[in-house]
């Protein structure tokens, strides 16, 4: 962006406008993934709807690339664009809970932690993801899954309404009764359709939950995973356990002799009576013990809000991240050895693979009821290569891509949009949306025909898509 255009931006918006010459520039362009070093022409903190509208108008009218930053957690750094302008929603963090109606209205730049803090004060919650520092904006628009998904569905299944600034500057509310097509697309279609300045969610009763971890040495992966693939889908919906290959974190509750050792295992969240968690999970493990005694097992009651931030300290901003994902409806025998091999070859202490359950309540919604098109998936898998040291970047990429490619033939063909990595391309976005893609492209054509919102996992407007 030349100086003249930057000056025009300063006039067009309330400000501040943070450009390369400003002292806050490096802080403003930082995203969660330390592997990225994008250099936007300007970052504009937005405090309200009009700020957002002004940035959109400027980018649209000047033909400047626009990015929208929620929590900044996207692995490919989609909240920032090289040489373009970012509408930064970090100042739009607020939550208004209506405990009577059991709803919460939330500012578009809020984090999961903001929402959990405010709702848990009333013994309520929205199903979201598993790290409190993640942005609700990107997570919700992609679909959102976490510990409460088997019980209460995806994040979008609790979305009641969204206030949106559209590409043409108009400000609308999307819900089941207004702009229904937009509301459909926002529930999984990612940041393609406008800037959501507030989300309204339905709340569910959640208080203290039973939390636990059970791990086995990584060479037991085939046997443990063979048990888990049978156990999890038929378990009661109060039992949620994601399967992982991981290195044991260096701290409590894990005994010191296990720190750093490569393991496979399950992280549990039990939404039934927390006094019964050990009995429920203990029973479940009877079958698993045939695969070998766990190296470590514990369960404990924990307020849900605490569970939500359990991994925050382990994963501070600024680490190197490289990830890929795919959906699975089964774990065939051929996959068991692949998981063991890549578990044994973890490239760093923080790298991990998770299979997140997305069944039960999430399956009670039809595949075409929202843009999220994998209601028949049982797991959303992610291969996350993570390390503080930039010198390990190449090793992280190699492990992550190798693991994904080895298992892809046994996947359902597409990934959760929020687990798509850097530069995976249009075919992968199409595979994310399957039969919902064409409808998304039509909604895009209606609400953003010039593709103003393209710094995302892009769905092109129908007319552009049909020309390709």
Binding residues for ligand FAD, per CB under 6 A? Answer: 32, 68-74, 78-79, 89, 108, 129-131, 134-135, 137-139, 141-142, 144-146, 191, 195-196, 315, 418, 456
Least distance from ligand FAD to the Cβ atom of residue 1, Å: 19
Least distance from ligand FAD to the Cβ atom of residue 217, Å: 26
What distance in Å separates the CA atoms of residue 103 and residue 94, rounded to the nearest whole number? 14
Cα distances (Å, whole numbers) of residue 239 to 123, 223, 250, 297: 19, 21, 27, 16
144: left (phi over 0), alpha (psi -120 to 50) or beta: left
Q: Which pair of structure tokens corresponds to residue 205? A: 């009763």
> Helices 393-407 & 333-344, crossing angle to 10 degrees?
170
Burial of 227 (0-12, 13-18, 19+ CB in 10 A): buried
Residue with Cβ nearer ligand FAD (68 or 166): 68
Residue with Cβ nearer ligand FAD (167 or 224): 167
Least distance from ligand FAD to the Cβ atom of residue 290, Å: 30
Residue with Cβ nearer ligand FAD (9 or 141): 141
Least distance from ligand FAD to the Cβ atom of residue 131, Å: 4
Least distance from ligand FAD to the Cβ atom of residue 280, Å: 22
Residue with Cβ nearer ligand FAD (199 or 227): 199
Residue with Cβ nearer ligand FAD (162 or 295): 162
Instruction: Decide if 239 contacts 150 (C-beta within 8 A).
Output: yes
Residue with Cβ nearer ligand FAD (146 or 212): 146
Residue with Cβ nearer ligand FAD (227 or 240): 240
Backbone angles phi, psi at 227, to 5 degrees: -70, -45
Least distance from ligand FAD to the Cβ atom of residue 164, Å: 8
What distance in Å separates the CA atoms of residue 29 and residue 64, rounded to the nearest whole number? 17
Least distance from ligand FAD to the Cβ atom of residue 18, Å: 16
Least distance from ligand FAD to the Cβ atom of residue 79, Å: 3
Residues sharing a CB contact under 8 Å with residue 454, sequence separation 6 or more, in sequence order: 65, 66
Q: Which pair of structure tokens corresponds to residue 446? A: 């209606």
Residue with Cβ nearer ligand FAD (47 or 341): 47
Torsion over CA: 328, 332, 336, 337 (sign): negative
Concatenate the DSSP letters of all residues of 7-47 into one string: HHHHHHSSS--B-TTSTTHHHHH--S-TT-----SEEEE--
Angle at 201 between CA 199 and CA 206, to 5 degrees: 140
């Amino acid at each position: 962006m030349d100086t003249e255009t930057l000056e025009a931006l300063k006039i067009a918006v309330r400000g501040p406008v943070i450009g390369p010459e400003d002292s806050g520039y490096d802080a403003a362009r930082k995203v969660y993934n330390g592997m990225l070093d994008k250099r936007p022409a300007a970052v504009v903190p937005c405090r309200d709807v009009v700020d957002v509208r002004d940035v959109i108008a400027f980018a649209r009218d000047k033909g400047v690339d626009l990015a929208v930053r929620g929590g900044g957690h996207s692995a490919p750094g989609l909240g920032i664009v090289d040489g373009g302008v970012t509408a930064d929603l970090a100042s739009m963090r607020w939550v208004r809970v209506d405990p009577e109606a059991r709803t919460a209205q939330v500012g578009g730049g809020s984090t999961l932690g903001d929402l959990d803090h405010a709702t848990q004060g009333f013994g309520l919650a929205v199903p979201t993801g598993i790290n409190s520092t993640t942005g609700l904006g990107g997570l919700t628009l992609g679909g959102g899954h976490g510990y409460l998904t088997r019980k209460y569905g995806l994040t979008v299944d609790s979305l009641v309404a969204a206030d949106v600034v559209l590409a043409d500057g108009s400000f609308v509310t999307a819900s089941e009764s207004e702009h229904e097509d937009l509301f459909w697309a926002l529930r999984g279609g990612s940041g393609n359709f406008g800037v959501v300045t507030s989300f309204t969610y339905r709340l569910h009763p959640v208080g203290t939950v039973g939390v636990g971890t059970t791990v086995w040495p990584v060479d037991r992966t085939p046997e443990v995973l063979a048990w888990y693939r049978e156990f999890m889908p038929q378990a009661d919906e109060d039992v949620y356990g994601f399967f992982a290959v991981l290195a044991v974190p260096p701290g409590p509750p894990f005994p010191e002799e296990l720190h750093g050792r490569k393991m496979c295992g399950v992280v549990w969240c039990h939404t039934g009576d927390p006094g019964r968690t050990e009995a429920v999970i203990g029973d479940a493990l009877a079958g698993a013990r045939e695969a070998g005694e766990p190296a470590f097992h514990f369960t404990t009651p924990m307020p849900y809000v605490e569970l939500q931030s359990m991994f925050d300290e382990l994963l501070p901003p600024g680490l190197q991240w490289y990830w890929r994902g795919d959906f699975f409806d089964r774990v065939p025998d051929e996959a068991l050895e692949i998981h063991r091999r890549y578990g044994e070859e973890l490239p760093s202490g923080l790298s991990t693979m998770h299979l997140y359950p997305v069944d039960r309540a999430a399956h009670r919604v039809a595949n075409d009821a929202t843009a999220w098109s994998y209601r028949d998936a049982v797991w959303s898998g992610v291969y996350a290569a993570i390390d503080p040291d930039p010198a390990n970047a190449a090793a992280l990429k190699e492990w992550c891509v190798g693991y994904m490619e080895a298992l892809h033939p046994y996947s359902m063909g597409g990934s959760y949009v929020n687990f798509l990595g850097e530069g995976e391309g249009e075919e992968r976005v199409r595979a994310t949306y399957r039969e919902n893609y064409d409808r998304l492209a039509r909604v895009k054509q209606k609400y953003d025909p010039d593709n103003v919102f393209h710094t995302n996992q892009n769905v092109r407007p129908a007319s552009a898509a049909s020309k390709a």
